Amino acid sequence: MTVRYNAAEYEEIRRAAASRTQTVSRFCATSSLNDARGLSAGDPQDRLDRAVDELANSRAQLARVGNNLNQISFTLHASGFHRPAELDVTLRLVRLAVSQVDTTAANLVGG
């Protein structure tokens, strides 16, 4: 499937997608499906989709934090330093946050 927009139309869509923290592709898919289903942006399905997208974005950010913590730990260990206790606490908190995001997403989609 190919969709074409002129530069002004694309920019308008890009801004709308960004305001909803969605990719342009996701925004176009959601918008077109909502229109096909006769839904508006305030409908429950749209709100659910947006919430799930936000949770996915949160999980991606948490994964980046976890990756940074692993890099810090590796660098400390390679330099002969012991990993500070604060790093363990932070890693535990990140894992807890990931678990809470996953549980919330599963609850939202009925899984």
Taking only the tens of pLDDT, the chain with its 111 residues reads: 888 999 999 999 999 988 888 889 988 988 888 888 887 666 677 778 778 888 988 999 999 998 998 899 889 888 888 878 888 888 889 999 999 999 998 888 886
pLDDT of residue 80: 87
The verdict on pTM exceeding 0.85 is no
- Nearest CA to 18 out of 53, 62, 58 is that of 53
Cβ atoms of 101 and 58 within 8 Å: the answer is: yes
pLDDT of residue 26: 87
User: Residue 42 has what pLDDT?
Assistant: 61
**Hey, where are the domains in the chain?**
1-39, 42-111
Cβ atoms of 22 and 64 within 8 Å: the answer is no
